[in-house]
Amino acid sequence: MSVVVQKYGGSSVADVEKIGAVADKVVATKKRGHDVVVVVSAMGKTTDELIALAKKVSKDPHRRELDMLVTTGERVSMALLAIAIHARGFDAISFTGSQSGIITNDRHFDARIIEVRPHRIEDELSRGRIVIVAGYQGMSYKREITTLGRGGSDTTAVALAAALSAERCEIYSDVDGVYSADPRIVPDAQHLPEIDLAMLQEMAEAGAKVLNAQAVEWARRQKIAIFARKTSDAEGAGKETIAREDARTTARAISAMDRVVLATFAKEDAPRALAALAELDVPFIDATLDCATIPLLNLPDWDRRRASLESRLGSAIAFRDGLSVVSVVGDGLAIGVGRFVAALAQSGASPIALSCGPLRISAAVPTEKCADASRALHAAFVA
C-alpha cells in the first residue's frame, strides 16, 4: 500500500476533543487503503509553557536540558493519539524521534537531520499498524536527545516522507494553506493554491509561519510534494496549497519575522564580528559589511550569548532590540527596491537595515511598525 505521512500541529491536538477529531481523520485515511504515518506536535502551547517554566528556574537555561524538557510535550500528544486510534478499533503504535530513527547533528534546540533510519516504522507498517511519531525531535550521533528548532515537526514529517518514499506529505494546521501574507494582519491576503518550493523556502526563511524552512529544504532536495490543509476541513472540502518543485507560479508574498536583534559593527570589524557570532552558535541572516540580523526564535539563551559577544568584542559590536524583519518574496524583484522603500516610507516604517536577493527584499523595522509595513508592501507588490 502507498504511504501517506500526515503532520498535525499543536492547535490541531490542543485538547482531547481535537485529538479525537484527528484520530477520525487518520482512521479515515487508513480505511482508504493507505499505510499511515502521523507526526504530531505538542498539545496547544505546551512547548511555550515548558520553556517559560525553565526560565522561571534560570534566566538562561542550558540548551541540552531544554531539549530534555520540551521533548516531553510531543510524547504526551503521540501517546494520546495512539490511544484514541485504539479506541476506534485500529491498531496504532507511538514512537519518539529517536525510536523512529531520526539522526541529527550534535546541536541542541536547533539541530538538523542528517539521516533517517525508519526500520522500526517500516516493520510496524508491514504489520498493518498506524504509526504515530513525535515531531520536532531526534537523536544525535552522540545519542543525545535533540530538537529541530521551532516548527521542526514539519521537518520530521517531510524527512519521514522522503525516507519512506511516501505518496505525499500532508501538513495540517489551523489555516487552509499558504497565503500571500498573514491574513490576520493583511485582510486582503490571497490564498495560493499552488506554490513553488523555492519561493516557499524564501517565505519560510523570512518568517512565514505556515511551514518550517528546514522542512521545505528537505522537500526540495528529495522532491517531495507538500499538501498544506486546514485540520477542521472535511476531506476533499475547503482549500489547500500544493507546494512542489515544478509548480507554475509567479506569485509574490509578504513575510514577517518578529523578535530579531540587529548587530552592527564597523566594516573593518566585520570579519571578527561575524566569526564570533558563528563560534558562539548565534544564527544570523542578511549579513553585510556593517550589520547582521539575529533571529531570537531558537535562541533561548540569548542573554548569555550576547554577554559573551560584548565581552569578546567590546565596543566593536552593538545591538539594537525591538525589531522585526518584513520581506517581499517572489520573482522579478531586481528593479523593485525603490518601490519597496517607498512603500515602507508610506507606512511610516523607515528601514533600519535593507537586504536584497534574487527572490527577496527585506528590511529591519521597529516591531510596532511591522503590521503597517506588511499591509503597505502587500498593496504595492501583491494586491
Sheet containing strand 3-8, strands side by side: 92-95, 130-134, 35-40, 3-8, 168-173, 226-230, 240-244, 194-196
Rounded to whole angstroms, the Cα distance separating 103 from 251 reads: 35
Q: What average pLDDT score do residues 360-371 get?
A: 96
Q: pLDDT tens digit string along 9-53?
A: 999 999 999 999 999 999 999 999 999 999 999 999 999 999 999
Average per-residue pLDDT for the chain: 94
Rounded to whole angstroms, the Cα distance separating 347 from 324 reads: 15
Q: What average pLDDT score do residues 64-90 get?
A: 98
Is the residue at 212 inside a domain?
Answer: no
The last residue of a domain, from among 124, 148, 174:
174
The residue that leads in pLDDT, 312 or 248, is 312
Rounded to whole angstroms, the Cα distance separating 41 from 257 reads: 21
Domain range for residue 311? 253-381
**SS3 track for 16-41:** HHHHHHHHHHHHHHHHCCCEEEEEEC
Domain CATH for 337:
3.30.2130.10
Residues 163 and 272 in one domain: no
Is the residue at 183 inside a domain?
Answer: no
**Prediction pTM value:** 0.92
Is the residue at 232 inside a domain?
Answer: no
Is the residue at 166 inside a domain?
Answer: yes
The last residue of a domain, from among 118, 140, 174:
174
Number of domains observed in the structure of the chain: 2
Residues 9 and 154 in one domain: yes
Q: How many Cβ atoms sit within 10 Å of the Cβ of residue 174? A: 12
Q: pLDDT tens digit string along 250-263?
A: 679 999 999 999 99
Residues 12 and 132 in one domain: yes
Nearest alpha-carbon partner for 253 in 383, 118, 111? 383
Q: How many Cβ atoms sit within 10 Å of the Cβ of residue 237? A: 8
91 pLDDT band, cuts 50/70/90, is very high
The last residue of a domain, from among 138, 159, 174:
174
Residues 153 and 47 in one domain: yes
- Which letter does DSSP use for residue 75 in this model? H
